[in-house]
Amino acid sequence: MLKEVQLFLLPDQVNDEVLIKNKLQKKLRLSTSKFFYKWKKRSIDARQKNIKINATFWVASNSKDIPSLVGFMPKKIDAKKSIIIIGMGPAGIFAALRALELGIKPIIYERGKDVRSRRRDLAKINKEGIVNPESNYCFGEGGAGTYSDGKLYTRSKKRGDVQRILELFVHFGADEDILVNAHPHIGTNKLPKIIQAMRECIIENGGEVHFDSKLIDISHVNGEISEIVINQKKIPCKSLILATGHSARDIFYLLDNKGISLESKPFALGVRVEHPQSLIDKIQYHGRLNDKFLPPASYSLVCQINGKGVFSFCMCPGGIIAPCATDKEEVVTNGWSPSKRDNPYSNSGIVISVLPSDCKGNIEDPFIGLNFQKSIENKSWILGGKNQCVPAQRLKDFMEDKLSLDFPVTSYQPGLKSVRMDDVFPEFVTNSLRKAFLAFDKKMKGYITNDAVLHAPESRTSSPIKIPRDREFLHHPDLKGLYPCAEGAGYAGGIVSAAIDGIKVMDAVLLN
């Protein structure tokens, strides 16, 4: 017998196993306490003052009936079959793991360094404002997700098997809680070890991983890929999974130069706002502060302004704002948090949808959105003082169009420069942001406060360019053997959906 049972618990009851077992026995009207149970799902319902935990359990009379994890089962590699994967972000890694499950040898080329060596370059950005264009918050082993909050929530359930991705994360060392929590996250302190375990598994099972190895050229003959150049080395190649992420602008330029078609696509851009975490807890938990049974509160906000979506993006409770530029003359923000989310700050992107038609230039130009994104990042770098200091304005001052005279302590390490957001962004962005903040303040009373600071820009939410691919076979329509994959190609947004796309593309390679 396996049953799914739902209970409503109070936050302080979540770890009380005796109480939970009693409640399950009562609910199922069981005469015996000899049964087994396991958490299936858990979510917090904080809509009312009386905060509840929605809990779902598996209950069975035999422990063998309780679903257990499906591990990772690689096949013996067929020496004649291999696949080249460019980029070792979530998409590249999960494509490689899938290749091993299919008995195909994955060969990964990654421009950045391994997770450990990468840390030194992150310290340089934070402490000295020096950006290494090959190794930074976006480039290197594990990709852009390695030093992130590690949120694993995705709305794109239709895209594939989310549970399988979560189970693989657990197999490689993530806490089993990620299978249960409605909004799972791993944390920056834990992700690098998991990524390292995945790499070791790829190598142990016959795959290859090459760091400091950048794709710089692609040759093709008669509509088929023939050769690639990694650093200066020519490598024959028939099939290539291109999983280089949305920050690899040189890849877009390379494809364009080679006559391989690209398309512009909508993306989103705005600011990263930081509040004291205690304020967000107070608002979301109805004044309840420092409740040890509740996690640091998060939020998800969305509204429509003049027919355009304005929404919170990648909210990090207890987080830190990070300098995420990938080139020297730009400033880009994003956020991360450790597994405990125990920093005193909360940050979130607040972004507005940008259509190619919102940007200046030729609407037919696939680079129209990218040029706009780049211009904002470069302007922010100039206004910030040509280092990694970020243009900043208190939220209240932004609403009143006043330059900020000072700032509270914020988490952004390289430093803040007082700048009007209206000097960073065009009017259509700042107008929409102001209206959206008013709407958000109605949903979360106290959101507009002098203690909140806007950091600009939040510009790498999704790719402004799409690399087209055949719907069925997933290769580029101009070039057989070139498989555009995940976020950089416009088919994913976030760690889980990128991982799902990596698996999907690898499956397509096998079929073609």
Ligand X SMILES: Cc1cc2nc3c(=O)[nH]c(=O)nc-3n(C[C@H](O)[C@H](O)[C@H](O)COP(=O)(O)OP(=O)(O)OC[C@H]3O[C@@H](n4cnc5c(N)ncnc54)[C@H](O)[C@@H]3O)c2cc1C
Question: Residues in the site for ligand X, rule: CB under 6 A?
Answer: 86-92, 109-112, 137-140, 143-145, 147-151, 214-215, 243-245, 248, 251, 314, 322, 324, 334, 336, 486-488, 492-495, 498
Minimum distance of ligand X from residue 218's CB (angstroms)? 10
Which is closer to ligand X, CB of 105 or CB of 111?
Answer: 111
CA atoms within a 13 Å half-sphere pointing along the CA-CB vector of 231: 10
Non-local CB neighbours of 451 within 8 Å, separated by 6+ positions: 275, 276, 279, 408
How many residues in the chain?
512
Residue (9 or 130) nearer to ligand X, CB:
130
- Partners of 352 in the β-ladder: 269, 310
DSSP category for residue 384: H
CB of 23 to ligand X, least distance (A): 33
Cis check for the bond before 236: say yes or no (omega within 30 of 0).
no
Q: Which is nearer to ligand X, 11 or 323 (CB)?
A: 323
Cα–Cα distance between 11 and 32 in angstroms, integer?
Answer: 27
Contact status, residue 273 vs residue 408, Cβ threshold 8 Å: no
Q: How far is the CB of 210 from ligand X (least distance, A)?
A: 9
143/369 with CB nearer ligand X: 143
Q: In 3-state terms, what secondary structure has residue 202?
A: helix
Closer to ligand X by Cβ: residue 245 or 457: 245
Instruction: Quote the tokens at residue 138.
Output: 């976006």
Closest separation in Å from C-beta 112 to ligand X:
4
Of the two residues 11 and 207, which places its CB atom closer to ligand X in the complex? 207
Least Å from the CB of residue 162 to ligand X:
11
* Closest distance to ligand X from the beta carbon of 449 (Å): 24
Distance CA 97, CA 118 (A): 22
Count of helices and strands (H, E) across the chain:
13, 22
CB of 504 to ligand X, least distance (A): 12
Of the two residues 110 and 330, which places its CB atom closer to ligand X in the complex? Answer: 110
Backbone φ/ψ region at 307: left (φ over 0), alpha (ψ -120 to 50), beta: left
Would you state the torsion angle of the CA atoms of residues 46, 52, 53, 59, taken in this order, to the nearest 10 degrees?
-150
b or e along 25-62 (b: 16 or more beta carbons within 10 Å of the residue's beta carbon)? beeeeeeeeebebebbebebebeeeebbbebebbbbee
Could you write out the DSSP letters of every residue in 209-239? EESS--EEEEEEETTEEEEEEETTEEEE-S-
Residue number with CB closer to ligand X (281 or 458): 458
Gap between the Cα atoms of 323 and 469, Å rounded: 32
Of the candidates 214, 228, 213, the one whose C-alpha atom is nearest the C-alpha of residue 258 is: 228
How many CB atoms neighbour CB 5 within 10 A? 15
Beta carbon of residue 251, minimum distance to ligand X (angstroms, whole number): 5
Q: Which of 109/483 has CB closer to ligand X? A: 109
CB 18 to ligand X: min, Å: 35
What is the closest distance, in whole angstroms, from the C-beta atom of residue 98 to ligand X in the complex?
13
Say if residue 427 is exposed, middle or buried (CB neighbours under 10 Å; 0-12, 13-18, 19+).
exposed
Q: Is 285 left (phi over 0), alpha (psi -120 to 50) or beta?
A: alpha
Which of residues 279 and 315 has its CB atom nearest to ligand X in the complex?
A: 315
Shortest approach of ligand X to residue 420 CB, angstroms? 26
Q: How far apart are alpha carbons 435 and 412 in whole angstroms?
A: 26
36 vs 299, beta carbon nearer ligand X:
299
Nearer to ligand X, 137 or 447 (CB): 137
276 strand-pairing partners: 345
- How far apart are CB 88 and ligand X at their closest, in Å? 5
**Rounded distance, CA 3 to CA 24, Å?**
11
